[in-house]
Amino acid sequence: MKAYVYVSLKRSVLDPQGKTIQGALQKLGYHGLQDVRQGKFFELTLDGGLDKSQAESAVGRIAREVLTNPVIEEFRYSIEE
Q: Is 44 in the site for a second copy (CB under 8 A)?
A: yes
Number of residues that bind a second copy (CB under 8 A): 32
Residue type at 33? L
61/56 Cα distance (integer angstroms): 8
Q: Is 60 in the site for a second copy (CB under 8 A)?
A: no
Grouping H, G, I as helix, E, B as strand and the rest as coil, residue 4 is strand
Phi, psi of 23 (to 5 degrees): -65, -40
Between 41 and 72, name the residue whose CB sits nearer to a second copy.
41
Q: Is 6 in the site for a second copy (CB under 8 A)?
A: yes
Q: Is 40 in the site for a second copy (CB under 8 A)?
A: yes
Q: Is 43 in the site for a second copy (CB under 8 A)?
A: yes
Report yes or no: 2 and 79 within 8 Å, Cβ to Cβ.
yes
**Among residues 19, 56, 60, 62, which is the contact residue for a second copy, using CB under 8 A?**
62
Q: Is 78 in the site for a second copy (CB under 8 A)?
A: no
Q: Give the chain's end-to-end CA distance (angstroms, integer).
A: 5
